[in-house]
């Protein structure tokens, strides 16, 4: 069972990274109806991946790996969780924007998005990618036992 949840955790992580990368590419292209619809779909995949990643990760912490005491006494784990929740919090803004486009897109109209909103969404996606780099560093540190408080 431990192997299954490790696999699910990694699968969700790779899907999340792919979704963020696709969002960044789409936000760098011309704003069209097709790209707006793609952004909505990719953002859903991102949200589902993040949820699965969190659930699988917490199940691994509490049930399948070294135990909660090990993880919660590790500074790298705290950094990993903090960066994950920072990225999740920041992703709320683009998600709300994409959801708000629903009515316009159903009517076949391009949503009204200001240059400022567009730049803010791109900046957020860049920060999310930077957070993932930090998460990867923290994961490598944890694997080597770096960051243990005790």
In order, the DSSP letters of 79-139 are HHHHHHHHHHHHTHHHHHHHHHTHHHHHTT------HHHHHHHHHHHHHHHHHHHHHHHHH
Instruction: Please report the pLDDT score of residue 79 as a whole number.
Output: 96
Instruction: Please report the pLDDT score of residue 103 as a whole number.
Output: 94
Instruction: Please report the pLDDT score of residue 13 as a whole number.
Output: 96
Model pLDDT for residues 49-107, shown as the tens digit of each residue: 999 999 999 999 999 888 898 899 999 999 999 999 999 999 999 999 999 999 999 99
Instruction: Please report the pLDDT score of residue 1 as a whole number.
Output: 85
The model carries a pTM of 0.89
Beta carbons of 86 and 135 less than 8 angstroms apart: no
Lowest mean pLDDT among 14-23, 60-69, 115-124: 60-69
Q: Which residue has the higher pLDDT, 145 or 130?
A: 130
Cβ atoms within 10 A of the Cβ of 57, count?
A: 21
150 pLDDT exceeds 80?
A: no
Structure tokens at 93: 């803004």
C-alpha dist (Å) from residue 24 to 34, 43, 58, 124, 133: 15, 11, 28, 9, 15
Based on its alpha-carbon atoms, the radius of gyration of the chain, rounded to whole angstroms, reads 18
Please give the Cα distance from 81 to 85 (Å, whole number). 6
Cβ-proximal residues to 123 (8 Å cutoff; 6+ apart), any chain: none
Please give the Cα distance from 55 to 32 (Å, whole number). 35
Model pLDDT for residues 35-45, shown as the tens digit of each residue: 999 999 999 99
């Amino acid at each position: 069972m431990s192997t299954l949840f490790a696999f699910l955790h990694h699968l969700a992580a790779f899907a999340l990274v792919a979704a963020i990368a696709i969002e960044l590419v789409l936000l760098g292209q011309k704003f069209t109806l097709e790209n707006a619809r793609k952004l909505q779909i990719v953002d859903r995949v991102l949200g589902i991946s993040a949820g699965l990643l969190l659930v699988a990760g917490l199940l691994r912490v509490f049930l399948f790996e070294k135990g909660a005491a090990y993880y919660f006494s590790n500074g790298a784990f705290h950094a990993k969780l903090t960066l994950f929740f920072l990225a999740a919090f920041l992703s709320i803004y683009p998600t709300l924007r994409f959801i708000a486009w629903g009515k316009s897109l159903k009517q076949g109209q391009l949503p009204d998005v200001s240059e400022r909103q567009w730049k803010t969404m791109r900046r957020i996606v860049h920060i999310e990618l930077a957070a993932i780099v930090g998460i990867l560093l923290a994961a490598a540190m944890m694997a080597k036992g770096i960051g243990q408080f005790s």
